[in-house]
Amino acid sequence: MTADRLLTTGELARELGLSARSLARWAQEGQLKPTLVTPGGQYRWELEDVREQLRQLRRRSD
């Protein structure tokens, strides 16, 4: 996988070992910000950006 490739929610879930449903819910709730939302409403993600967002969420909850 190249660094500049945007991932679908399912691909991101597999990379992170999380559920796609949880990622989508967190995006809908505003806890995670996708890199792109397609015209059809699907999320696209940049892996390292999401990892950083998750690190920040963990720091805030500690």
Please provide the distance, in angstroms rounded to a whole number, between the alpha carbons at the two ends of the chain: 32
CA pair distance 29, 25, nearest whole angstrom: 6
How confident is the model at residue 62, as a pLDDT? 81
- pLDDT above 80 for 58: yes
Half-sphere exposure of 52 (CA within 13 A, CB side): 8
| pTM of the predicted structure, to 2 decimals | 0.86
Q: Which amino acid does the sequence have at 40?
A: G
**Contacting residues for 34 by C-beta, under 8 A, at least 6 apart:** 27, 43, 44, 45
